[in-house]
Structure 1
Amino acid sequence: MTHVIITGGSSGIGLAIASIYASRGARLSLIARSAEILKQAQDELASKASTVGDIRIETADVAREDEIAAAIHRCEAAFGPCDILVTSAGVVEPGRFEELGSSAFQRQMDTNFSGTVHAVRAVYAGMTQRGRGKIMMISSGAGLLGIYGYSAYCASKFALHGFAQALRSEARGRGVNVSVCFPPDTETPQFQRELAFRPAEAAAVMGTVSPWPAEAVARKVVAGIERGRFEIYFGLTLFLLGRFGPAVRPLLNWWFDRAVARSSSGVSKHGG
């Protein structure tokens, strides 16, 4: 039976991915920081799983390597070696760079980038020894283009892309498939919290595109895992950025700069 471990599996994209695998009879290990929200996720998935015992929950902060490693090892002890790892745990705290405290900046790097590295490290040796395994890292469209007010978040997600590229080269010959995906704005609880802190200039740019449902993102992620694709994009703009970034990025930056300038002008006129 396939054992799928999902960090950040208690809500949002992670939970939507878990729902797909639960309906397919996989054993699921969900890891997140909140025991209460994890239990809610476990109850929600119970009706789709083969048995309630096929869904395991563990509390851990991915930013703490000892915590996430111990949690993953407990999951493997209970359900067997990890066949598929999905690193969906992440945080986003928008804010202009000069207003964003060092702790908020570091928190996003520690969770989004280092947290992924910690989870991958916990399963990687076993996967390479067995000569099989799949790793899916959840990056973001913000990992393809710098966005006003998202300096820390973009940095953490750009870093993930570089990590995935390098690890893919190392893992390919050892039977381990490494993938990375770049979701757009997605309808999740975290997205709703983020909107309250999104600078007006960023909203002027990002608010022009409707967010994707988490279920639609999850279906595309799972399909990418099954097909062994390295990079998974969502929508034409992100696809073009991923494939033709150097050519497309200047045009997008030009459009973004104009939108930001108009927004800043409007704020100045009405905000005093």
Structure 2
Amino acid sequence: MLLLLCATLFVFLIFLYVLSPRLPPRPVSLNGAHVVVTGGSSGIGKAIAIECVKRGAFITLVARNEQKLFDAKKEVEQHFMNEKQVVQCISLDVSKDFGQVKSVMKQAQEKLGPVDMLVNCAGISVSARFEDIKPEEFRRIMEVNYLGSVYSTMAVIPTMKERRHGRIVFVSSQAGQLGLFGYSAYSASKFALRGLSEALQMEVKPYNIYITVAYPPDTDTPGYQEELKSMRRRRPRARRRRPSCLLASSRWLLRVQHGRHLVPGSRRRDIEPWASSPAANLAVELVRPELS
């Protein structure tokens, strides 16, 4: 009888061990939480900040442009749920110097408390054929899109480990899942975020820290409009309406709170087929002269 009981207990423990990676963590409440958003002055970053504020969070917005930060702060504050909430702005290029990023994150935590959630949204893009992209553009894209996220994450991880609590979001792109013509620099930087997030999740999961990587499609943001301007030798074409930032961020946030690792791009009907995407249009326009 005792042997049967021990065998049953052993099988039960093995079952729990096998099942444990599939068990979701306890959802994180954002009421009173401190959320840091890099690239928070516009686009998806600002939209995420607004969604977090609606759930009672305290916000630190980090971006380079002081005027855009000030404008974003006023817009985010309009969605306060209570008068105790605070939005603070810090002007900083997160891709330049880790020491400065670390100092700024320490300053933010001294005012609003330890960081509960970090959202890495800072990013830039250039669309052109590989040989038309300058070496300095490759370097700059990797610095902003990849190293900017690395530096910000390195600055908050120690405190999160001490508290055994935290959520970190990396905003990749659908170009971080599939390489696209004309996006050799951009896709490489977004693929790097994917590898970073997958490896880092293995390291920090024992500390109750969960990593989420998002793969948004082309979204109606100021950055996307700049991306269109950078497409060289491309003929103007009619375009379908892109998903809004607020729509994208509201879908993401619940998955982040529940510790889900993956946020897929969007619903199928919101995503324009690749055959009519900017990358495909650019490919046709660049290759056509060489074939004729």
Q: How far 1:48 sits from its partner (Å)?
A: 1.4
Q: 1:75 to 1:187 in 2, by over 3 A?
A: same
Partner of 1:24: 55
Unaligned runs of 5+ in 1: 238-251
Cα RMSD, aligned residues only: 3.0
Distance 1:232 1:203 in 2: 31
Q: Say yes or no: does 1:182 pair with 2:215.
A: yes
Q: Secondary structure at the match of 1:186?
A: coil
Aligned to 2:95: 63
Distance 1:37 1:262 in 2: 36
Residues 149, 127 of structure 1: CA spacing in aligned structure 2 closer, same or farther, 3 A cutoff?
Answer: same
* Residue pair 1:3, 1:82 contacting (<8 A) in 2 also: yes
Q: Which residue of 2 aligns with 1:249?
A: none
Of 185, 190, 203, the match for 1:152: 185
What is the alpha-carbon distance in structure 2 between the residues aligned to residue 113 and residue 150 of structure 1? 15
Per-residue deviation, residues 72-116 of structure 1 (Å, max 9, x unmatched): 111101000000000001111222111111111100000100110
**By how many angstroms is 1:51 displaced?**
3.5
TM-score normalised per structure 1: 0.85
Equivalent runs, 1:1-272 vs 2, <5 Å: 1-49=32-80, 50-51=82-83, 54-64=86-96, 65-199=98-232, 210-235=241-266, 262-264=284-286
**How many residues in Structure 1 have an aligned counterpart in Structure 2?**
257
For 2:74, give the aligned amino acid.
D
Pair 1:212–1:42, CA change in 2 (3 A): same
Contact preservation (8 Å) 2:174, 2:217 = yes
Code of the residue aligned with 2:256 in structure 1: it is I
Q: Alpha carbons of 1:210 and 1:61: their partners in 2 closer, same or farther (altered >3 Å)?
A: same
Separation in 2, partners of 1:46, 1:258:
40
SS in 2 for 1:180: strand
Q: Note closer, same or farther for the CA distance 1:153–1:52 as it changes in structure 2 (3 Å cut).
A: farther
Q: Using the TM superposition, give the Cα deviation of residue 19 of structure 1 relative to its aligned residue in structure 2, in angstroms.
A: 0.5
Q: Which has the higher helix share?
A: 1
In structure 1, what is the Cα distance between the partners aligned to 2:257 and 2:178?
27
Kindly state the Cα deviation for residue 56 of structure 1 after the two structures are TM-superposed.
0.5
Question: Distance in 1 between the 2:287 and 2:200 partners?
Answer: 44
Greater shift, 220-229 or 109-118, is seen at: 220-229
SS in 1 for 2:207: coil
The SS at the match of 1:212 is: coil
TM-score, structure 2 as length reference: 0.79
Structure 2 regions of 5+ residues with no counterpart?
1-31, 269-273
Query: d(CA) in 2 for partners of 1:132 and 1:211?
Result: 35
Task: Determine if contact 1:94/1:194 at 8 Å carries over to the other structure.
Answer: yes
CA contact (8 A) 2:57 2:85 kept: no
- Over 6 Å off, 4+ runs: 201-204, 255-261
Shift of 1:44: 0.9
Q: Percent identity?
A: 32
User: Structure 1 counterpart of 2:88, which letter?
Assistant: R
CA contact (8 A) 1:31 1:71 kept: no
Query: Do the aligned residues in 2 keep the contact of 1:72 with 1:122 (CA within 8 Å)?
Result: yes
Partner deviation per Cα, 1:138-175 (whole Å, 9 max, x = no partner): 00111011111111110000000000000000011111
